[in-house]
Amino acid sequence: MTPDLHLWLIPLLPLIGAAMNGFLGRRLTRQAIATVALAFCGASFAMALYVSLRFSGLAIPHMETLAPWIRSGTFQADFAFYLDQLSLVMLLVVTGVGFLIHIYSVGYMWEEAGFYRFFCYLNLFMFFMLTLVLASNYLLMFIGWEGVGLASYLLIGFWFTKDSAASAGKKAFIVNRIGDFGFLIALFLMIKHFGTLNFDRVFQFAATIDVENAGAGLLTAIGLLLMVGAAGKSAQIPLYVWLPDAMEGPTPVSALIHAATMVTAGVYMVARSHVIFERAPTALMIVAIIGTLTALFAATIGVAQTDIKKVLAYSTISQLGYMFLACGVAAFSAGVFHLMTHAFFKGLLFLAAGSVIHAIGGEQDMRKMGGLREHIPWTFWTMTIGSFAIAGIWPLAGFFSKDEILWRAYQASWVYWLIGVFTALLTSFYMFRLWFLTFFGEYRGTASGHSIVREEAPSRSGPPASPGHHGIHESPRVMLIPLAILAFLSVVGGWVGIPGSLGGSNRFDRFLGPVFRATAPALNRQPAAPGEVAPSEQTTEGLEPHTGRGTELAFAAISVFAALLGLYLAWLLYLRRPELPQRISAALHGIYTAVSNKYYVDELYAVVFVKPLVEGASRVLWRGIDQGVIDATLDNTADAARHVSDSLRHMQSGNLRSYAGWVAAGAAVVIAYMIWTGAR
Amino acid sequence: MVPLSYYLVLSGILFACGVTGFLIKRNIITIFMSIELMLNGVNLSFVAFAAHWHALSGQIFVFFVMVVAAAEAAVGLAIIIAVYRTRETLNVDHVNLLKL
Amino acid sequence: MLHLTLFLIFGAICVAGAVNLLVQRHPINAALSLVAVMASLAVEYLLLGAEFVAAVQVIVYAGAIMVLFVFVIMLLNAGEEARTGGSRVAILFGIPGMLAGSLLGAWVLITHSGTQEVPAGALPGPPREIANLLFHDFLLPFEVTSVLVLIAIMGAVVLAARPESVEQQKREG
């Protein structure tokens, strides 16, 4: 008898909070709004903790049905929830990091006019994200998928009176929808061929299909289409263009949605569908290639950005590329591991960046920062921890997760590994560039110890400095405590995944093992190489066994070296000899312009896709069809009626004899008709 | 001995003359008289058939037709008088106020 | 033989009267032609044996209705018809239509009624028989028709009354 954990409460509680804040928020005080939002989010987090406590006693996977939804013939999709190790990890990450960011937002958004609206949307986002994570069929997951896209649109365009923010929101939603189109087609394929969208049934069916080594088949198609959806949601090539623009939203939004949780939905979805992907090697390879290329591509752009949030945005795209690379080499648990650690340190980095922006009165351009180390120490130290974590320096969280991915990538192909290491170098470089530019050297901005001058620079977003704040000041405690907690997690978060070669037992991998191991295709299982491999490392996710702990240690050392090299280069260029970057960019002028303009991808899309679409729509659909056909039909019908009646009115001449004439003629016709039809 | 068809032909001729009179005459009173001519033609046809089929109700019908014709003539002429008072003309072509 | 001769003579008078009605320009001439038509028709009815109908034809039709027509013509001082434009439709559609309709109708009736002979006095219709039928089988139509006549009388009085006389009656009454 499966115990009923009331899983439905976990998504529902934030929904109630959203409803309360949404409908009543106008009339509530800020304290009340914050309390409502935090209470419901916190309650959801508490429920998640409770579930995790009870987890060991459950039969896995644990499914609960809340209510029937669609029953159509043999097709059935219910409001049902699915709990296994993977969902538990996602659940804890989403609720935990979400709760911390809620706390942070109370401080960050305190001066804002739309305070209640912000928390309404934030809670709404939590509802949809939790639905996505806990769903037990693809349809409910799709609802959560779409819903987080909606919440993202609402939150990016939070300052909707600003054109750039409104456009960024639209762009995010539309690009997401393109990905969702692929997702939908994949769902349709599943319905057609499997007749169901429930996870357990779909994976049962998929498991009966042989591995499609020849390349093209049903599972490859489904896998590729799911990847299109994931590329849209998780900002991979070619649908990543919305994420840098999404930085128009408030910083907590960037932290929660565009770093820690929403963008990871794609990774979660791919990991959840691993049964399908494992049997479609072509699709898997495409996933890995997309991930690798995106990682490299985004890292190169991040090197030349001057806005602190844009650097972090491209960094997010790049790290998501790593996660997809991991999934693409069938190292799903490594991908999820990186997802978790990334949520910690990227969330931390964004929140700290928000703290920096708040401190200097709304400025986001790094060229106008510098030397903030003494002014905002807490922010400085937490950001330092985050930067070291993302660079992958031992023993912080990023090291273990990134290393795991690189190690598994190497076993698939050394090309993946090489690009991954080079990207790690770039990651370290641009993160420490950010670190140095922001906190070291001389302060180059205009906010000072005296009363500030509020700049209305059109390019920056973020909350304007409130008139009450003077000069550079540390953030309030309500913002610093989440920073501290996330910093702590960034330090220790990786320790659950210490691989055997470094002395640990990789508990994370073992924990997720049952999810990914159970349905791995039997084809690629090879016996473990004799000797060295510690039993905990036998993640039989379908690839060749490891070649020894010595090699793994060597590779780990190489990645740490790359990270340190990046640190050194950043120090060199931005602290020691700050005139160098100018000379280098002048020397490489063409390349530098291309990179700093994001390789003109947005402009390319505008010319190739957007402009023809808009032109086509306005010429063909608007003028041609709407005006020319639909309006014209109505107008012409009315005109025709008028013309007919106009010509018929001449019969009413008022002349008695003409009436008589018509009557006589009509009578003759009637008589003729009657004779003709046989009336006698 | 007169065949039935002779009576019918005569009736038809009278009726056709009545319709023609209605169509080509301009004086409203003359038009009315054409109507009476039509009714007479029909009456002849009724009586002829009644005789042919030995059904006396044909003649009864003629009786009713005459009564109705009388009533109609009375009312119609009263209308003509009323129209003449207002329009001062008996020419039917001049009474065309209902023209659209 | 006599029957046929009488029929033809009086039939010719009918047709002549009808054509004369069309031809004459002055309405009084047309009225008198119509009286002639009605009289000959009365003879035709007699030939068919319908005595009562013939009598009623002369008394009511020729004697009352046509007299009414003549009175109105005199009252309104109707003169010769003027030649006005008239209606093209009436000529173009009406005459052909009328011709076609009557020819068709006649053709149907003749081909289906055949050439059986109707003897003279075929169906005698003495007043007694007529009355029997009228007041037994056709009582309802009889009564309704009498109401109709009543209404017609009232309508005629109202429609033809002088407006001043109405005012006068109101003031006086």
Query: Domain range spanning residue C52?
Result: 1-81+112-125
* Mean of pLDDT values over A103-123: 90
Do residues B87 and B39 lie in contact, with contact meaning Cβ atoms separated by under 8 Å? no
* The pLDDT of residue A461: 46
C34/B48 CB distance under 8 A: no
Count of C-beta atoms within a 10 Å radius of residue A440:
16
Across A151-155, B48-52, C86-90, the highest mean pLDDT is recorded for A151-155
Across A497-501, A589-593, C118-122, the highest mean pLDDT is recorded for A589-593
Helix (H) or strand (E) holding A71: strand A62-72
pLDDT band at C87 (very low <50, low <70, confident <90, very high): low
B81 touches chain A (CB under 8 A): no
Structure tokens at A648: 């018929």
Domains detected in chain B = 4-94 (1.10.287.3510)
A192 touches chain C (CB under 8 A): no
Domain assignment present for residue C7? The answer is yes
Q: How does pLDDT run across B76-86, given as a tens digit for each residue?
A: 999 999 989 88
A671 touches chain C (CB under 8 A): yes
* C75 and C144 co-located in one domain: no
- Tally the domains of chain C: 2
* Mean of pLDDT values over A635-646: 92
CATH number, domain containing residue C23 = 1.20.120.1200
* C44 and C119 co-located in one domain: yes
B57 touches chain C (CB under 8 A): yes
Could you tell me which chain A residue has the CA closest to the CA of C113?
A680
* C33 and C63 co-located in one domain: yes
* C119 and C173 co-located in one domain: no
Q: Is the dihedral of CA A386, A392, A396, A402 positive or negative?
A: positive
* C39 and C119 co-located in one domain: yes
* The pLDDT of residue C121: 66
Q: How does pLDDT run across A12-70, given as a tens digit for each residue?
A: 999 999 999 989 888 888 888 888 899 999 999 999 999 988 888 777 788 888 888 98
* The pLDDT of residue A144: 93
DSSP A332: H
Could you tell me which chain B residue has the CA closest to the CA of A656?
B92
B93/A657 CB distance under 8 A: yes
B81/C21 CB distance under 8 A: no
pLDDT band at C101 (very low <50, low <70, confident <90, very high): confident
Q: Report percent pLDDT > 70 for chain A.
A: 89
Name chain C contacts of A665, Cβ cutoff 8 Å.
93-94, 96-97
Q: How does pLDDT run across A646-656, given as a tens digit for each residue?
A: 888 877 777 88
C82 touches chain B (CB under 8 A): yes
Mean pLDDT of chain A: 83
Task: Give which of A396, A294, A301, A394 is closest to A345, Cα–Cα.
Answer: A396
* C9 and C74 co-located in one domain: yes
* Mean of pLDDT values over A587-613: 82
Residue A675 CB burial class (10 angstroms; 0-12, 13-18, ≥19): middle
pLDDT exceeds cutoff 50 at C43: yes
How far, in Å, CA of A652 to CA of A649, rounded? 6
Domain assignment present for residue C98? The answer is no
* The pLDDT of residue A548: 65
C101 touches chain A (CB under 8 A): yes
* The pLDDT of residue A421: 92
Domain assignment present for residue C106? The answer is no
Name chain B contacts of C48, Cβ cutoff 8 Å.
7, 47-48, 50-51
C87/A661 CB distance under 8 A: yes
Q: How does pLDDT run across B6-33, given as a tens digit for each residue?
A: 888 899 899 999 998 988 888 899 999 9
Do residues A370 and A505 lie in contact, with contact meaning Cβ atoms separated by under 8 Å? no
C104/A680 CB distance under 8 A: no
Which 3 state secondary structure label does DSSP give B79? helix
* C9 and C63 co-located in one domain: yes
pLDDT exceeds cutoff 50 at A601: yes
Q: How far is CA A618 from CA A17, A305, A606, A622, in A?
A: 42, 36, 16, 5
Could you tell me which chain A residue has the CA closest to the CA of C87?
A658
* The pLDDT of residue A469: 53
* The pLDDT of residue A2: 62
Q: Who among C92, C96, C104 is closest to A675 (CB)?
A: C104
Helix (H) or strand (E) holding A64: strand A62-72
pLDDT band at B62 (very low <50, low <70, confident <90, very high): very high
A655/B96 CB distance under 8 A: yes
Q: Who among A664, A668, A680 is closest to C112 (CB)?
A: A680
pLDDT band at A575 (very low <50, low <70, confident <90, very high): confident
* The pLDDT of residue C122: 67
Q: How far is CA B56 from CA A75, A236, C53, in A?
A: 81, 103, 11
Domain assignment present for residue C150? The answer is yes
A527/A600: higher pLDDT: A600
Residue B74 CB burial class (10 angstroms; 0-12, 13-18, ≥19): buried
Exposure b/e, C11-47, CB count within 10 A at least 16 = b:
bebbbebbbbbbebeebbebbbbbbbbbbbbbbbbbb
CA distance A626 to chain B (A): 37
* The pLDDT of residue A448: 57
Count of C-beta atoms within a 10 Å radius of residue A332:
29
What ipTM did this prediction achieve?
0.90
Name chain C contacts of A668, Cβ cutoff 8 Å.
96-98, 100-101, 104
Domain assignment present for residue C57? The answer is yes
How far, in Å, CA of A251 to CA of A249, rounded? 6
Domain assignment present for residue C149? The answer is yes
Q: How far is CA C151 from CA A547, B74, C147, C154, C157, in A?
A: 121, 11, 6, 5, 10
* The pLDDT of residue B100: 67
Interstrand relation of B2-3 and A75-83 (parallel, antiparallel or unpaired): unpaired
Domain assignment present for residue C160? The answer is yes
Which 3 state secondary structure label does DSSP give A158? coil
* C27 and C52 co-located in one domain: yes
* C2 and C74 co-located in one domain: yes
Name chain C contacts of A680, Cβ cutoff 8 Å.
108, 112
Name chain C contacts of A661, Cβ cutoff 8 Å.
87, 89-94, 97
pLDDT band at A478 (very low <50, low <70, confident <90, very high): confident
Which 3 state secondary structure label does DSSP give C85? coil
* The pLDDT of residue C84: 65
- What is the full DSSP assignment across A431-494? HHHHHHHHHSS---SS--SSB------TT--SPPPPTT-BSS-PPPHHHHHHHHHHHHHHHHGG
Q: Who among A655, A661, A671 is closest to C104 (CB)?
A: A671
Neighbours of chain C (3+ CB pairs under 8 A): A, B
* Mean of pLDDT values over A451-471: 45
* C39 and C3 co-located in one domain: yes
Which 3 state secondary structure label does DSSP give A2? coil
pLDDT exceeds cutoff 70 at A277: yes
Exposure b/e, A296-318, CB count within 10 A at least 16 = b:
bbbbbbbbbbebbbbbbbbbbbb
C86/A657 CB distance under 8 A: yes
Neighbours of chain A (3+ CB pairs under 8 A): B, C
Domain assignment present for residue C52? The answer is yes
pLDDT exceeds cutoff 70 at A267: yes
How far, in Å, CA of A212 to CA of A219, rounded? 8
Mean pLDDT of chain C: 85
* C5 and C76 co-located in one domain: yes
Write the CB contacts of C131 (distance below 8 Å, at least 6 apart in sequence): none
Helix (H) or strand (E) holding A77: strand A75-83
* C116 and C173 co-located in one domain: no
* Mean of pLDDT values over A460-477: 60
pLDDT band at C114 (very low <50, low <70, confident <90, very high): low
